[in-house]
Chain A
């Protein structure tokens, strides 16, 4: 069942000024409950606008957004409740930390949601911290004493703590070192598996998307370019390059091998899978690789 649907979504920045710019036009997508969606697109393609529309921070110029089949703007005064259902982690979320302790900062969202009982709140905060991979000992520290990666995870915990049905993350790994980035991706994956929530991950990193997403939404100039299963998306390497994106590096390697005359399959987009394919090829067992992609 579709948890989020959009119908002919259109959004314009600076309506009625000389700086008017159409950010989104004719966006029709449908996202099923429990799916892991990757969102990619070049800078200014409308990714960030789309995610802000989905949780009601921006109001569409025309078109509809359905959450569980209900138009989220049916009652504009109730829009705040949509934000608890669709949790949005902004780019560089560490800049939104403000409380004295990490614990209080994580509790900000659930308190706004109306969680009053102390033990219930405590449970929620600790679970969220655990999902984000924050040690218990960090909870009583000031958020400003944490390292960059820890701050980022504390901010993500602050959104997870609202227990949203849909979690949207806008470039959660931007500016982190490889270790910090793997850690966050792993955490998000575990969170999805354990809670069964729907997750949307906006990223510029094809490698990240290839690793975690079931389906990929490709945005281009405010329109949906492709929306398909991950393996199908990366078959369109040329088209992706045309719109300023690319396939994962590992896929590029295999495409190049193919071009040089090696008989290998080219729908390879994760390291683990690539290893198998490469070994098969090296052992001369080209015939054996006829199997399905993982």
Chain B
């Protein structure tokens, strides 16, 4: 069903990761993603994977939720890994059959690429699973604040993001309603070629567009009625504050990053180039 989509789904909880300051979470998540690309040998990659598994356990999010997030990219992971395996040339041949030659270097390379992709997806879904959309946008607004100097409308961007996230479930519900109404009029959405199927979307998309515009106007009026005038002089109900646990998490990830660089220096790189 359409309501199974889990984009940006937040799962409330009380774990250490849930309680971290969302700004810190975004910063640390970026750091982890950068460093998964810097891990070059088995030791450093092992440390990284260990860290990710540990944080998955600490987050207390059911593991199957992470697998659900991975479902969408299995194909991508498999495809990039396979391409790398076939095209990268090295010195040690492990497998040869007719024109297909697979080198040991290629195996390592594609394994590393697969792990990197999986880690990226797990870490970013961890961020959305453990952070409420409001916290997330508040954090983005604060982190982007320096760009106000360059006249970037940071507050407006954050508000747009909040509204967009807020309306995902509403729109899904609306889509389902309209789909049912058109099905009741005999619309056929399950059969036919690609052109017929695309055409079958028109009776759904047009009413959806129109109701979205209507909703947008209503929302704008409602915001006007509450004297919303944009970001200037606006204060927050819950001010974000770094706490001891944020410092602790920072040190932890800092340690991981240092560890990866140190472990990289202990053994030669397994990657090509």
Contacts and interface: CB of A to CB of B under 8 A. Distances in A.
Task: Sort chain A's interface into a size bin.
Answer: 20 to 34
Given A90-B177, A108-B203, A144-B210, A96 B182 contact: yes
Contact of B186 (A80, A97, A98): A80
Interface string A150-168: 0000000011001000000
Contact of B184 (A83, A97, A113): A83
Contacts of A144: 210
A4 to B, nearest CB: 16
A158 B206 contact: no
B73 interface: no
B91 to A, nearest CB: 53
A55 interface: yes
Contact of A95 (B185, B186, B207): B207
A88 interface: yes
Contact of A98 (B180, B184, B202): B202
B1 to A, nearest CB: 10
A86 to B, nearest CB: 9
Interface string A171-196: 00000000000000000000000000
A106 to B, nearest CB: 10
Nearest to A158: B185
Contacts of B161: none
A162 B185 contact: yes
Contacts of B182: 96
B190 to A, nearest CB: 9
Interface string B173-186: 00001101111111
A52 interface: yes
B143 interface: no
Interface in A89-140: 89-90, 93, 95-98, 108-109, 112-113
A112 B188 contact: yes
A269 interface: no
Contact of B183 (A57, A89, A113): A57
Contact of A83 (B177, B186, B210): B186
Contacts of B188: 80, 112
A112 B184 contact: no
Contacts of B183: 57, 83
The residue among B181, B185, B187, B206 with the most chain A CB atoms within 10 A of its own CB is B185
Nearest to B174: A95
A162 B207 contact: no
A52 B180 CA distance: 9
Contacts of A36: none
Contacts of B206: 98
A112 B187 contact: yes
A87 interface: yes
Contacts of A113: 186
A158 B184 CA distance: 10
B181 A90 contact: yes
Given A90-B180, A98-B202, A159 B207 contact: no
Contacts of B202: 98
A157 to B, nearest CB: 11
Contact of B178 (A55, A80, A96): A96
A51 to B, nearest CB: 10
For B177, B180, B186, B206, the residue with the greatest tally of chain A CB atoms inside 10 Å of its CB is: B186
A95 B211 contact: yes
- Closest 8 pairs between A and B when the two form their complex, measured CB to CB: A112-B186, A98-B206, A96-B181, A109-B185, A88-B184, A90-B181, A98-B203, A98-B207
9 contacts: A83-B183, A95-B178, A95-B207, A96-B182, A96-B203, A112-B185, A112-B188, A158-B185, A162-B185
Interface of A: 52, 55, 57, 80, 83-84, 87-90, 93, 95-98, 108-109, 112-113, 144, 158-159, 162
